[in-house]
Structure 1
């Protein structure tokens, strides 16, 4: 009897695997693929026509999934908007920045972090999103708050974690990681970010960004030098 149950369980497992393989061969996207497709579609639409003018039906159509599938992944348009911002930030911070400190000098780590940070905030999508929200700050305060939490807020947390870790290792003297992260981010943005958001610079070369970041890191490490001994 036990053998029968085992065989049935194995058969059920095999059948399930076969169905999954068949769905994949037929081109049906998996859940993770659908999630990514929805986020990508929503991002394009939010940036092109604005939050108000985008419907969940339009997002479903562009993502080539059903409206029910969209709601299965995201309960509301506001929740989807939050996820889009978080997704964009995650794309730019795929490296293990905390672990990187243990294998690289603090100067190299901050340069890499600064370069990633600048690539994100100077990107076309980030600038377009900022402009849209800046123009609708009074009418959509919740959306602006979501953007700040998932965008600048998450970036600030990443910076704080790096500085806390570096202080613990003795790589720099940093008693207040929050203050240090705010200063570092402010120095990074500088005139480059202001010119970009105002439309005074349509594109900034990588070499210019890297030189700017190197100067910022040099200045920052004079304010937060390594611990002696």
Structure 2
């Protein structure tokens, strides 16, 4: 067996171990909260020595950031399906908004959101990590989508409007004593799109109907 083969196997094992740690830590953070989850507890759950955990992550903050990235990657794949390579149209926007709502109301997304909002004041580093890796990335994808039909200023305005409305709807749904169904999601999106004063794209004809 060559040295390169040995190296590649070691690297593969390292990647697998890191993924295992992140997966276990994700469940612990979401179930116990950030403050109550300790590196020692994660090391015990993972098994093996604490040195192994510290070899992969220098701090609890670093590990929590990796957990956020794991959730954002899943979210991003769904966003890419409805936005990447798409030019602006009302049907495309409708599909995107419904997909965002679906993603935001998934159990893991709700648990992560509640964790960050409940503990973000005590631990501002987790709020910053979540915001830069989650909402900012999402808004970037939305802005790129709008930029296919509108100038930069209008794309930014529409991005703020859509993202704020959808996340606000998520918050409203989470506060209700009974869950909202798909029909309510659709009605909200139709109402939102119908009440936007669509600007006329300067190079793409009249405003969308």
* TM-score, L = length of structure 1: 0.71
For 2:192, the equivalent position in structure 1 comes to 216
- Give the Cα–Cα distance (whole angstroms) in 2 for the partners of residues 151 and 14 of structure 1: 37
For 1:228, the equivalent position in structure 2 comes to 205
Instruction: Kindly tell me the number of residue pairs found equivalent between the two proteins.
Output: 201
For 1:68, the equivalent position in structure 2 comes to 51
Deviation for aligned residue 1:96: 5.0
SS at match of 1:59: helix
Question: Runs of at least 4 residues of structure 1 off by over 6 A?
Answer: none
- Give the Cα–Cα distance (whole angstroms) in 2 for the partners of residues 140 and 16 of structure 1: 41
Shift in alpha-carbon separation, 1:212–1:53, aligned structure 2, 3 A: same
Structure 2 residue 11 is the aligned partner of structure 1 residue 34: no
CA RMSD of aligned residues (A): 3.1
Structure 2 residue 2 is the aligned partner of structure 1 residue 12: yes
Q: Which runs of 5+ in 1 are unaligned?
A: 1-10, 24-28
- Give the Cα–Cα distance (whole angstroms) in 2 for the partners of residues 43 and 202 of structure 1: 27
- Give the Cα–Cα distance (whole angstroms) in 2 for the partners of residues 16 and 218 of structure 1: 60
For 1:106, the equivalent position in structure 2 comes to 89
Structure 2 residue 28 is the aligned partner of structure 1 residue 45: yes
Which one has a bigger Cα radius of gyration?
Answer: 1
- Give the Cα–Cα distance (whole angstroms) in 2 for the partners of residues 37 and 210 of structure 1: 37
- Give the Cα–Cα distance (whole angstroms) in 1 for the partners of residues 174 and 48 of structure 2: 34
CA contact (8 A) 2:24 2:45 kept: yes
For 1:188, the equivalent position in structure 2 comes to 166
* TM-score, L = length of structure 2: 0.76
For 1:175, the equivalent position in structure 2 comes to 153
Q: Which runs of 5+ in 2 are unaligned?
A: none
